[in-house]
Amino acid sequence: MKRRRKLTKGEGVLLFLTAMFLCFLMGLHQRDLKASAAPMAIETQRGGRQDVPPELPDPAPPEPLDMNTASAEELTELPGIGESLAARIIAYRETHGSFTCLEDLLNVSGIGEKKLAALEGLISIQ
């Protein structure tokens, strides 16, 4: 049978510190597990906490903008339509009457196939 040798004082201290470090790491791990399982919270303006569900449902998509009744401000909120193009759309509408289909927008200077395709789902003709 082999005889075990005794640990030196330095080896014992090192073993103790290693054990303490591992306990510390386990405590951090447990804290992180509890934090990830708890519901998220945000700070309100008054300093209180308010629980927030982890995932909020996507808001409903906006209603398509009617090109026959839209104002210049509403038109400029669409992607790729600035103030001058919005003014041309309104001028075309006033000169030629209401749009009867989306393809009528191709007659407005500055609206091509690509721009019309980018606006699909965001605009309508009613």
Q: How far apart are CA 116 and CA 106, in angstroms?
A: 8
User: Model's pTM, two decimal places?
Assistant: 0.54
Short-list 60, 63, 74, 64, CA closest to 123: 64
The length of the chain, given as a count of residues = 126
Short-list 75, 65, 67, 76, CA closest to 94: 67
**pLDDT lower than 70: segments of the chain:** 1, 38-54, 56-57
pLDDT digits (tens, 9 = 90+) for 33-69: 887 776 555 555 555 555 556 676 677 777 899 999 9
The whole-chain average pLDDT of the chain stands at 85
Q: Return the number of other C-beta atoms located less than 10 Å from residue 99's C-beta.
A: 21
